[in-house]
Amino acid sequence: MTRRDAPKPRQKAASAAAAEVAPATSATTTDLSDPSLYIHRELSQLQFNIRVLEQALDEQTPLQERLKFLLIFSSNMDEFFEIRVAGLMDQVAFEHERVGPDGIAPQQALAMISATAHQQIERQYAILNERILPALAEAGIRIVRRHEWTTRQKAWVRRYFRHEVAPLVTPIGLDPTHPFPLLVNKSLNFIVQLEGVDAFGRDSGLAIVPAPRVLPRLIRLPDDICEGGENQVMLSSVIHAHVDELFPGMQLHGCYQFRLTRNADLDIDAEDVDDLARALRGGLYTRRFGDAVRLEVADNCPRTLVEYLLKQFGLAEQDVYEVNGPVNLSRLFSVASQPGFPQLQYRPFTPAIPKALKKSEDIFVTVARQDVLLLHPYESFTPVVDMLRQAAKDPAVLAIKQTLYRSGATSEIVDALVDAARAGKEVTAVIELRARFDEESNLTLAARLQQAGAVVIYGVVGVKTHAKLMLIQRREGSELVRYAHLGTGNYHTGNARIYTDYSLLTSDPALCEDVHKLFGQLTGMGKVQAMKKLLHAPFTLKKTLLDLIARETAHAEAGQPAQIIIKVNAVTDAKVIRALYKASMAGVKIDLIVRGMCCLRPGVPGVSHNIRVRSIIGRFLEHSRVYWFANGGDEVLYLASADLMERNLDHRVETGFPIESKKLVHRVRRELDLYLADNCSASLLQADGGYLRAQPANGQAPRNVQQLLLEKLCGTGAAAG
């Protein structure tokens, strides 16, 4: 039985199909559980992906960077189908449909997603073919299509196919002894129409040709057969041009590329396995062969073959995407990073080092004297690495404890932890093996640390450890002194160059004691311990945030000025959204800076008329989580690892840490104001679920927050280009 037995009709795009929101008559009569007050989370995620795609149209952005945005859209959509769409399809297939606060059933959501995704993917290929590729060719970077090959290029490609490709290709004729093959998730394949009888008397007429996964998808043509610039051909073109050589004596009637996307979510119940690491290793293999969720196929593929493929994969008509170009666009990232064309890329910059650290040879001396707050990537992640490196070598350091969610198995952070363990220090690493799509890297990381002598803990059963914490214990005289790093982002030095995140280096005794207690909860067993300053999910973080929202609401009800500014990656928790609605109805001015999903509807009369929501998308991935409350003039500021999502607040180990220095509070507030003033890279969420790009008003100067922060923290001219 197929996953879905009949095709489902397409519906309007999500933003157009959003329910009309009726104005509330009064606060006392408004039903805050009304589904029309909530946006479906998957449809909101899709809107984020669209905002990423639209960056490819911004002619103020360098050309190769525009291509990157277009390819990031492809990568995002792959994951969207692998996880989000797959989850909805599972609910429908197994008749366990769950309806969220928005009231949209999974089957309806799938139809809305399909309509919007088809429209936007068609738009993506139009941008690629009509704008990006011609502009790249004019600049000297060319993907040479088959019909453009010169005689010399054809000869070179033929030799390449025969020597490098054909020996690795395994064509599969389809007949009773060769059933349709099990294809790897997102692999490039061709369906081939043939005529004739082979040596064994077979004449099925169809074959599948999987592209060798070990070969590059782009092949550089030699300079001596080209007319300047960088010239490349796609592996798909090479195979397509010579596929007839794989079927000698047969007549070829057609060859069409296709790609299948599968459910890639790992369904492992940590409570039902004896060894989580071993279970994950098995799950990583099965991820490659999960249930089919999407079929991409060349738009010139005959209808009969499309229907044949849909039947083979148990997919419906709405699940096929006919594309005008390569089905595996993500493989073009090498073109987007092609060196030698600096004018087509963002201008490089050097992350700043704060003066306090620049003048200090001993980072512990500096942090003992004052808290240090860093904003990456504008300010370097190096001080975090340096503190760990110094700790690894310092004979006074006795123990290091650290959480690792996404770090990479060969990062500088891991190198320092390995050095510390080999030096005989007590090193404890809490590694979250289930960080999606980083499971394999984290398994390798865990093995490496264990071999060095570190104690490796996999966190808590059933609850992902997402907190970003480092604790160093150092003997100073007769005392043990603690130093800590707390962050909003991962311990990944590569991400620290492209993600915006805050890092706090501190020796505050109360905060460090709280971090010590949290590590005790993660590695040992015991009841929840009271914390003096640290907020931690799933215990106190959500409750405290709700209390802070309620306190701001009380200030407004008492006629006092009240304001909330929150910067996160997603807002989906219905309880938090209701609290924000109540605050808005009381008169609290609320600004939400939400990069991705936002299920809250701003601007609804009588309900969310005091709430503004903006999304910033630009050169860097906005990743920091900031919670600021006016609190009657006595500002309260928390930085956190958690977004306003049920999974973060209720089902993960997360932290929120206070910034108490007035100087640092004012600094973060000024930075938030820059985000709120952005009129170039901001998109404003509307009540219908759609977004409008912010534009400078008449006579208003353009303000791009990321460029302004580059200029402010990294020096004049750093943001140009």
Point out the domain boundary residue: 82, 109, 139. Answer: 139
Whether residue 168 lies inside any domain: the answer is: yes
Which residue range(s) make up the domain with 305? 143-345
pLDDT at 96: 82
Same domain as 577, residue 558: yes
Q: Calculate ∠ Cα 585-546-652, nearest 5°.
A: 135
pLDDT averaged over every residue in the chain: 90
pLDDT tens for 696-707 read 988 899 999 999
Residues in the chain: 721
d(CA 457, CA 432): 8
- Beta-strand relationship, 292-298 and 251-262: antiparallel
Alpha-helical (H) ranges within 354-455 are: 355-358, 363-369, 382-393, 412-422, 439-452
Whether residue 3 lies inside any domain: the answer is: no
Same domain as 155, residue 111: no
CATH code for the domain of 452: 3.30.870.10
pLDDT tens for 75-120 read 999 999 999 999 999 999 888 888 999 999 999 999 999 999 999 9
pLDDT band at 718 (very low <50, low <70, confident <90, very high): low
pLDDT band at 464 (very low <50, low <70, confident <90, very high): confident
Instruction: Compute, in degrees rounded to 10, the torsion defined by CA atoms 219, 222, 227, 230.
Output: 40
Query: Which residue's entry shows tokens 């940590």?
Result: 270
What is the DSSP secondary structure assignment for residue 271, as one 8-state letter?
G
pLDDT at 405: 81
d(CA 520, CA 187): 44
Point out the domain boundary residue: 70, 105, 139. Answer: 139
d(CA 533, CA 515): 10
Between 354 and 175, the higher pLDDT residue: 354
User: 499 among the known binding-site residues?
Assistant: yes
User: 436 among the known binding-site residues?
Assistant: yes
pLDDT band at 200 (very low <50, low <70, confident <90, very high): low
Same domain as 148, residue 132: no
Instruction: Map residue 541 onto helix, strand or coil.
Output: helix
Contact present, 249 and 196 (Cβ < 8 Å):
yes
User: 159 among the known binding-site residues?
Assistant: no
Q: One-letter amino acid identity for 73?
A: F
pLDDT tens for 224-266 read 999 999 999 999 999 999 999 999 989 999 999 999 999 987 5
pLDDT at 267: 58
pLDDT at 419: 95
Same domain as 510, residue 362: yes
Whether residue 256 lies inside any domain: the answer is: yes
d(CA 431, CA 458): 5
d(CA 514, CA 120): 47
pLDDT band at 632 (very low <50, low <70, confident <90, very high): very high
Same domain as 687, residue 608: yes
- Residues 6+ positions from 217 with CB-CB distance below 8 Å: 188, 211, 234, 235, 236, 328, 331
User: 49 among the known binding-site residues?
Assistant: no
Give the other-Cβ count within 10 Å of 401's Cβ: 25
Point out the domain boundary residue: 100, 122, 139. Answer: 139
Same domain as 458, residue 540: no
Same domain as 513, residue 394: yes
Catalytic residue among 376, 466, 536, 555: 466
Tokens of 555: 């200030």
pLDDT at 8: 37
240 is catalytic: no
What is the DSSP secondary structure assignment for residue 12, as one 8-state letter?
-
Same domain as 409, residue 274: no
279-293 mean pLDDT: 63
With a cut of 90, say whether residue 526 has pLDDT above it.
no
Q: What sign does the CA torsion over 594, 597, 602, 606 have? A: negative
Give the other-Cβ count within 10 Å of 719's Cβ: 20
Whether residue 1 lies inside any domain: the answer is: no
User: 96 among the known binding-site residues?
Assistant: no
Whether residue 506 lies inside any domain: the answer is: yes
Rg of the chain over all Cα atoms, to the nearest angstrom: 28
Contact present, 657 and 638 (Cβ < 8 Å):
yes
Same domain as 292, residue 167: yes
Run of H or E including 284: helix 276-287
pLDDT tens for 114-173 read 999 999 999 999 999 999 999 999 999 999 999 999 999 999 999 999 999 999 999 999
Tokens of 673: 């104001």
Tokens of 269: 């119940």
User: 123 among the known binding-site residues?
Assistant: no
Q: One-letter amino acid identity for 573?
A: D
Same domain as 226, residue 77: no
Instruction: Provide the number of structural domains found in the chain.
Output: 4
Same domain as 541, residue 525: no
pLDDT at 176: 66
Contact present, 121 and 78 (Cβ < 8 Å):
no
With a cut of 60, say whether residue 619 has pLDDT above it.
yes
Contact present, 684 and 691 (Cβ < 8 Å):
yes
pLDDT tens for 657-698 read 999 999 999 999 999 999 999 999 999 999 999 999 999 988
With a cut of 80, say whether residue 207 has pLDDT above it.
yes
